[in-house]
Structure formats: C-alpha cells, structure tokens
Amino acid sequence: MNKKLVAVALASAFVSTFAYAGGNGFTGKMETCMKAALAKHPGEVQTLEAEISGGKAQYEFDIKGNDGKEWEVECLAKSGKIIEEEQEVANADDPLFKAKAKITQDEAKKIALAKFPGEVVESEFSIESDGNPSYEFDIKTKDGKEMEVEVDAVTGKLAEEAEEEIYQIGVEK
C-alpha cells in the first residue's frame, strides 16, 4: 500500500470520527468506500471529500487511475455502495467533452451561481456515466458553506442535487 494512501486513510479515520461527533452522520467506514472505489478504478487516491447530499453522508474520491484517466467516485458512507462514477477531463476542449457540450463554462457558472450565490473556488469538467459532459463548480456560499454544484453541459440544467462539502483531504491538481 503506498504511503499517500495510508496517510489519507489515517487522516480520514480521525476526521471521520470528528465529523460523526459533530452530528453529520458519517457512520460508515471510509476504508470500505475507498476499497470499493479502487476496485472500480484501480490507481492512486488524490483527494477524499466527505459530503452531505440529500441528507445522506457520502465520500468522494478523486483517483488517478492506472488506466491514465482521472476518476471521481462517490460512495454512500453508511452502506459502502458506489453511487456515482465520472471521468474527469482537463478542460472543455477535451474531445469527449466538446463533442456534446452545448453551453459554455460561463453560462454554466451563471446557472450555478443563480442557485447558490457566492464565489466559485474550483471548476472541473466531467463525463458522466451516461457519456454526457457536465461542469462542476465548488462554490463558497455567503454563509461559509462549500457547495459542489453540477450543471449539465448539454441542457444547462442543474444535473443533480448539490453536495455540501464537510471536509477535504488532499489537494486537487
């Protein structure tokens, strides 16, 4: 097991206990979710986020896959079940993204900020499991929360329920 993975696991175990004590519902073991995510996409975990979506605690792993691709995998904290997988791409000019996208990043950003006013602190480009592209924005809201909001790059609609980030371990590149 590589050193980064061990460090993420140890730090996560500590923070998970803290998050649970705060009443956020992280009752499942992060390690179960990490093993499930790495079974789907073998590689190296780059970041781990604990999030609340629809009232449910979940973990999100960014994985640099052995296949050379970057993956985002989400797992329910309580059950260890994988609930979403996306391939991350570098930018809107990626052929997989560009082939289907109909709205620009600026248009998507306006849609996200209309729903969650604040400051965009991070942007990503993803290919959903159905092959459609989406923009993902991390927005620091005026009340200090960090929300992860996805906008469908084909329709311009909010693609799914927003996720509140509770904590993150690791730095996204």
Quickly list DSSP for 126-172.
EE-TTS-EEEEEEEEETTS-EEEEEEETTT-SB-S--EEEEEEES--
* 24 or 14, which is more confident: 24
Q: Long-range contact list for 99-104, CB < 8 A, 24+ apart? A: 100/131, 100/132, 100/133, 100/153, 100/154, 101/133, 101/153, 101/154, 102/153, 102/154, 102/155, 102/156, 103/151, 103/153, 103/154, 103/155, 103/156
CA-based nearest residue to 78, from 38, 27, 13, 6: 27
Is residue 121's pLDDT more than 50? yes
Q: Give me the pLDDT at residue 105, please.
A: 98
What are 136-162's pLDDT values in tens digits? Answer: 999 999 999 999 999 999 999 997 789
Confidence at residue 15, expressed as pLDDT on a 0 to 100 scale: 45
Looking at residue 159, its pLDDT comes to: 75
Binned at pLDDT 50, 70 and 90, residue 23 comes out as low
User: What domains are there in the chain, each with its CATH number?
Assistant: 1-88 (3.10.450.40), 90-166 (3.10.450.40)
Q: What is the pTM of this model?
A: 0.85
Instruction: Name the one residue in this structure whose structure tokens are 């896959």.
Output: 65
Task: State residue 79's pLDDT score.
Answer: 94
pLDDT at 53 over 80: yes
Q: Is the pLDDT of residue 17 over 60?
A: no
